[in-house]
Amino acid sequence: MAGEPGELLQGTLEMMVLKTLSLEPMHGWGIAQRIQQMSNDVFLVTQGSLYPALIRMKRRGWLTTSWRVTENSRRARYYELTAAGRRQLGLEQASWQRASAAVNWVMNARLVPDGGRA
Amino acid sequence: MSVVTDIIERVRSIIFRRRDERELAEELEFHTAMEAAKLERRGLSPAEARRQTSLALGGVERVKDDVRDARGTRFLHDGQRDMAFALRTLLRNPGFAAVAILTLAVGIGGTTAVYSAVDAVLLQPLPYQQPGQLVRLYYTDVRRKEERGVVTPVHFLDYRQSMGAFSSIAALFLYSESGADIGTGDDVRRIRILPVSADYFDVVRVQPSIGRPFSRDEETDAPAVVLSHALWKEQFGGKPSAVGQSLMMNGRSFTVAGVMPDGFADPLAGSVDAWVPGDLRPGRDPNEAGNHYLSVIARLRPDVTIARAQAELDQLGATLAQRYPNARYAGARLDPLKEDIVGDSSKPLEIMLGAVAMVLILICVNLANLLLVRGTDRAREFALRSALGAERRRLVRQTLIESLTLALAGDVGGIIVAYFAMKAIVAIGAGSIPRLSTLELEPRLLVFSLVIASLSALGFGLWPALRAARTQPGDILREQGRSATSGGVQMRLRQWLVVSQVALAFVLLVGAGLLIASFQRIRQVPLGVRPEGVLAFELHLPEARYDSIARARFYETVAGRIAALPGVVAAGGVSKLPATGDFNIWGTQALTGPLANLDRGNIAGQNRVVSGRYFEAVGISLLDGRLFDEHDDASAPRRVIISRAAAERMFPGVRAVGQSLTTGGGPREIVGVVADVALDPQGRSGEGYVYHPHRQFAGDRNWSLVQVVRTTGSLEQLQGEVRRLIASLDPQLVMYKPMALTEAIGRGEAQRIFTLRLLTTFAGVALGLAALGLFGVLSYGVRLRRREFGIRMALGANGGSIRRMVLREGMVVTAIGVAIGLLGAVALSRVLASLVFGVSTLDPRVLASAAVFMALVAGFAAYLPAHRATSVEPSSVLQ
């Protein structure tokens, strides 16, 4: 699907990228793999959404980049969280947890029979 | 914080775009390779792995595009792409591009060049420290404050002593061009020297870079000289040891006191080769309270306003009136020095700027018109692109970028045009417009031209761009150019554009017409002399070798010998050429007759010293009495000839010949009355002339008479003969500044000529553009209406009626344009008033000629399209 990622999806992707990078600096492919693995193959991160997101996050000052050599001795661009990125991760995690809990409450709600009905 | 990183990142992406792109490619390549490797590990063949990877990841280019979007510099890449596209589009139509770029180059270059002159002359401050403190001091009549005259030495000395508002005040002996011969033998050449009072250097706040300025003790004609940087280089090889050495000027030895810094120019005289102390000794001149010859500049104290200084000056005037009861004035006025220098030239320059701006607007209108035509041609392209999903915004931007590309190309050409135009302006304006010599193509001006270019792009590109945006794809694609009336709205728009062009061109035509009419009027002004066929040149006799007796004899000898040359009618000399301005205005009092010794018998006499047969040489006719002859020499009683105006003022009702008057330090007997001579080419008349024979007046000072020779032959040939003759009399003498008398008198008119030339050029360009516009719009109209004409002809209309239809259309457009232009000319008449002489700014003859001229050109421009309309074959359009 070539459509633009929705607001929520894009925000979620950025949060997951931040989370991934909070574990260790990583290159783009690695981030995609990591998210795929950690989500048990639910999220398939495409290049088309990943790299623009990385650039945007870099523009906001959450990430820095550097070229390093991978364990397979190939050159790759590594992304690393900045302090601002860490703060952002904290904020997003908190608000995500609030939001997902709220969504869960809504989704798990049942119609309780109204006792006051005459 | 994050805003800052955002901006830094964006800017970085702009600067390192190539690297970013390379790294992005590498990064994506890495990603793909890793993905493929993963699949290979699962057992796929390398080729299959790659294929599946590409399928899974989607197009790399698409990803790249999205990443570029994310960088926030998208607009730049698109802009670049649009620019390349614009270039291709323009190159596809080189004729249009060439016309557009060339006309833009003319408009932008012209505007830049004229602006540069306005900037140099009017906007830039004077090149002296605290230039705002500098003022010019004129004597003035207390009753007529607008009168401005030069100052007498006694008043100057009183101002210098008493005025507390001035931190310094200086007198410049500018009243005639002062020259000096330097060098010896064949090396003699004439330089420009300026006698000044000692405080001159304090007023301009420029001290000699080596050596010293003058002291007040030297204001006694002391033989000291301050050299210009150039003269110092030339005469002393730029050696500091020059100070204290001597320089021979006019055969007299001067001690070099100092050297002015490089680039220093006198505020009033401009380039001067050397400064000498002016002679301000009291009592040097018996009529010193009545003789005006000092140009005075002063520097205000930092805390003093010009109004306060003027108040102090007015107060002082009352005292001076009592101290010098026989002086002609006691009042004085102050003008800011810059205003004084720029003077009358501000109006012509402002008008020029207005005119050239009009031309630029015309050019933009023309381009808008051309773009609209192209817009129609390209309407289908835009419609198609719009239908295929191109955003409107994108299309507008595309069109604007095309305009901008054109404008930038025009700007490059414009800078080249400006370079040459500035040279031309300096060449035409030199001598009539002050401060022009500082004109240079500075970076500031390049920026100016760029701004002008961008504004023009917006000016001519916006409308076509907005039209492109309004494109209704459906309509246009459906229409397929089938309808006979398509483009009707646009046609009307284009006609209005042409109307505005005609109006602008008409205003410029009127301006040029008024100047030409003024010029004819000036030519018709009776000057009282017949300057045609007269050669004039300066001949300076160095005092060291020529005392007053020798000078008196020599000037007569020269006149006599020149008169003997073949073709020469008469030759003589004068202290100031006729109709070239005021000179030696001395108080002149009737001593006999009805107004003897009365105030009413006192005039501001224009005194001239003449030698040889001056009156015959320049064509001043004798009305009564006789002209000077060899008997009017130093041994005879002092005699003068006066002009008719002087005679009527001082001796009303009686015969002036035989009466006597006093001027120039003593009583004079009147031996003749001659016709009046104008003071300038506009025919200004003074209170009258008093002519003195040089034979009797040579002792007063070294008059350096300008020689005039009337010939029936060619002036060039005469010039050579005279030069040889003078060399045979004294090989060291310089025949300085030979020129035709008509040219010498015309020089006062140089400013008007300057304006005339520029304005007629602009008017010509404007006329051409308007004609081009009319031609374009009519041709286009004919093209659109081919079917209509075909039908008409099929129905029996003949070629003549079709032709008349098109011509009438052109004439209607022209008539409306002229009508609007007429309103513009009326609105601008106050501005034009400063340019005209002897004609009303709404002179019906000028307006009518401009209208007729416009109509003729319009008819010419309309003829071809009209003719083409008749060539439509009915059968070809009706199939």
> B353 or B382: which carries more pLDDT confidence?
B353
Q: Which residues of A touch B63 (CB under 8 A)?
A: 47-48, 51
Lowest mean pLDDT among B139-153, B365-379, B472-486, B705-719: B472-486
Residue B332 in 3-state DSSP? Answer: strand
Position of tokens 């300066």?
B538
* Contact call for B1 and A61, based on CB within 8 A: yes
* Contact call for B2 and A61, based on CB within 8 A: yes
pLDDT of residue B488: 62
Residue B601 has pLDDT above 80, yes or no: yes
Angstrom distance (rounded) from CA B505 to CA B497: 12
ipTM of the complex: 0.80
What integer best gives the mean pLDDT of chain A?
82
Angstrom distance (rounded) from CA B109 to CA B420: 9
Q: Pairing between strand B295-300 and B134-140?
A: antiparallel
Q: Pairing between strand B134-140 and A63-69?
A: unpaired
Q: Is B663 within 8 Å of B588 (Cβ atoms)?
A: yes
> B784 or A28: which carries more pLDDT confidence?
A28
Angstrom distance (rounded) from CA B579 to CA B531: 10
pLDDT of residue A117: 45
> B229 or B351: which carries more pLDDT confidence?
B229
> In this structure, what are the phi and psi dihedrals at residue A85, rounded to the nearest 5 degrees?
-65, -40
Lowest mean pLDDT among B147-161, B380-394, B801-815: B380-394
Q: Which DSSP state fits B294?
A: B
Angstrom distance (rounded) from CA B230 to CA B247: 14
Helix (H) / strand (E) element for B553: namely helix B548-563
Query: Which residues of chain A are at the B interface, by a Cβ-Cβ cutoff of 8 Å?
Result: 2, 27-29, 32-33, 46-49, 51-53, 55-56, 58-61, 67, 74-77, 84
Q: Is A16 within 8 Å of A32 (Cβ atoms)?
A: no
pLDDT of residue B565: 93
Q: Which residues of A touch B6 (CB under 8 A)?
A: 59-61
Residue B642 in 3-state DSSP? Answer: strand
Residue A116 has pLDDT above 50, yes or no: no
Q: Is B90 within 8 Å of B419 (Cβ atoms)?
A: no
> B479 or B321: which carries more pLDDT confidence?
B321
pLDDT of residue B165: 92
Angstrom distance (rounded) from CA B99 to CA B90: 11
Angstrom distance (rounded) from CA B720 to CA B567: 13
Q: Which residues of B touch A76 (CB under 8 A)?
A: 27, 30
Residues forming beta bridges with residue B169, ordered by sequence position: B298
User: Which one-letter amino acid corresponds to residue B431?
Assistant: G
B517 vs B231, B351, B354, B850, B860, CA distance in Å?
44, 17, 21, 12, 25
Tokens of residue B859, six digits: 């008819």
Minimal CA–CA distance to B602: which of B560, B530, B661? B661
Q: Which residues of A touch B10 (CB under 8 A)?
A: 59
Angstrom distance (rounded) from CA A35 to CA B415: 59
Minimal CA–CA distance to B229: which of B257, B188, B258? B258
Angstrom distance (rounded) from CA A27 to CA B113: 58
Tokens of residue B306, six digits: 């010009």
Q: Is B697 within 8 Å of B668 (Cβ atoms)?
A: no
Q: Which DSSP state fits B536?
A: E
Residue B434 in 3-state DSSP? Answer: coil
Strands (E), B285-395: 295-300, 331-336
Task: Write out the DSSP string of B390-427.
Answer: --HHHHHHHHHHHHHHHHHHHHHHHHHHHHHHHHHHHH
Tokens of residue B72, six digits: 């926030």
pLDDT of residue B331: 84
pLDDT tens for each residue of B404-425: 888 888 899 989 988 888 888 8
pLDDT of residue A118: 41
What strands, in cross-sheet order, belong to the sheet with A75-81? Answer: A26-27, A75-81, A63-69
Sign of torsion over alpha carbons B32, B34, B35, B39: positive
Provide the percentage of residues in chain A whose pLDDT is more than 70. 85
B141 vs A27, B292, B605, B853, CA distance in Å?
91, 13, 16, 47
Residue A8 has pLDDT above 80, yes or no: no
Q: Is A18 within 8 Å of A62 (Cβ atoms)?
A: yes
Angstrom distance (rounded) from CA B330 to CA B48: 109
Tokens of residue B651, six digits: 């001796």
Angstrom distance (rounded) from CA B621 to CA B615: 7
Q: Which of A28, A33, A52 sits opposite B66 (nearest CB)?
A: A52
Lowest mean pLDDT among B175-189, B284-298, B330-344: B175-189
Sign of torsion over alpha carbons B653, B656, B658, B660: positive
> B79 or B90: which carries more pLDDT confidence?
B90
pLDDT tens for each residue of A44-85: 888 888 888 898 888 888 999 889 888 878 888 999 999 999
Q: Is B617 within 8 Å of B570 (Cβ atoms)?
A: yes
Rounded to the nearest angstrom, the minimum Cα separation between A117 and chain B is 56
pLDDT tens for each residue of B538-596: 888 877 788 889 999 999 999 999 999 999 999 999 999 998 888 888 888 999 999 98
Minimal CA–CA distance to B247: which of B227, B261, B266, B230? B227
Q: Is B507 within 8 Å of B358 (Cβ atoms)?
A: yes
Q: Which residues of B touch A67 (CB under 8 A)?
A: 23
Residue B769 has pLDDT above 80, yes or no: yes
Q: Is B63 within 8 Å of B28 (Cβ atoms)?
A: yes
Provide the percentage of residues in chain B whose pLDDT is more than 70. 91
Average pLDDT over residues B251-279: 89
What integer best gives the mean pLDDT of chain B?
84
pLDDT tens for each residue of B177-231: 577 878 765 566 778 899 999 999 999 999 999 999 999 999 988 899 999 999 9
Work out the burial of residue B75: count CB atoms within 10 Å of its CB; fewer than 13 is exposed, 13-18 middle, 19 or more buried.
Answer: exposed
Angstrom distance (rounded) from CA B631 to CA B254: 38
pLDDT of residue B689: 95
Q: Which DSSP state fits A62?
A: S
Angstrom distance (rounded) from CA B689 to CA B623: 14
Give me the torsion for CA of B79, B80, B81, B83, rounded to 10°.
90
Residue B245 has pLDDT above 70, yes or no: yes
Helix (H) / strand (E) element for B611: namely strand B602-612
Q: Which DSSP state fits B793?
A: H
B55 near A CB under 8 A = no
Question: Beta-carbon neighbour count of residue B812 at 10 Å?
Answer: 12
Please report which confidence band the pLDDT of residue B241 belongs to, taking 50, 70 and 90 as the band edges.
very high
> B484 or B54: which carries more pLDDT confidence?
B54
Angstrom distance (rounded) from CA A22 to CA A18: 6
Q: Which DSSP state fits B149?
A: B
Q: Pick from A4, A17, A29 the residue to mutate for testing the B interface (most B CBs within 10 Å).
A: A29
Helix (H) / strand (E) element for B247: namely strand B246-249
Strands (E), B250-391: 252-259, 274-277, 295-300, 331-336
Buried b / exposed e over B288-306, threshold 16 CB at 10 Å, is bbbbbbbbbbbbbeeebee
B17 near A CB under 8 A = no
pLDDT of residue B879: 57
Residue B682 has pLDDT above 90, yes or no: no
Angstrom distance (rounded) from CA B770 to CA B361: 11
Q: Pick from A10, A35, A41, A47 the residue to mutate for testing the B interface (most B CBs within 10 Å).
A: A47
User: Which one-letter amino acid corresponds to residue B506?
Assistant: F
Q: Which DSSP state fits A109?
A: -
Angstrom distance (rounded) from CA B468 to CA B89: 15
The radius of gyration of chain B from alpha carbons, rounded to an integer in Å, stands at: 37
Tokens of residue B740, six digits: 């035709």
Residue B66 has pLDDT above 80, yes or no: no
Rounded to the nearest angstrom, the minimum Cα separation between B381 and chain A is 28
* Contact call for B24 and A51, based on CB within 8 A: yes
Please report which confidence band the pLDDT of residue B483 belongs to, taking 50, 70 and 90 as the band edges.
very low
CA B324, chain centre distance (Å): 42
Please report which confidence band the pLDDT of residue B602 belongs to, taking 50, 70 and 90 as the band edges.
confident
Q: Is B192 within 8 Å of B276 (Cβ atoms)?
A: no
Residue B863 has pLDDT above 80, yes or no: yes
CA B810, chain centre distance (Å): 36
Average pLDDT over residues B455-468: 79
Q: Which residues of A touch B65 (CB under 8 A)?
A: none
Average pLDDT over residues B478-493: 57
> In this structure, what are the phi and psi dihedrals at residue B687, rounded to the nearest 5 degrees?
-85, -5
Lowest mean pLDDT among B184-198, B370-384, B670-684: B370-384
Residue B289 in 3-state DSSP? Answer: coil
Q: Is B123 within 8 Å of B316 (Cβ atoms)?
A: no
Task: Write out the DSSP string of B205-228.
Answer: T---SEE----GGGTTT-SEEEE-
In chain A, the largest separation of any two C-alpha atoms, in whole Å, equals: 77
Closest chain A residue to B72, measured at CA:
A56
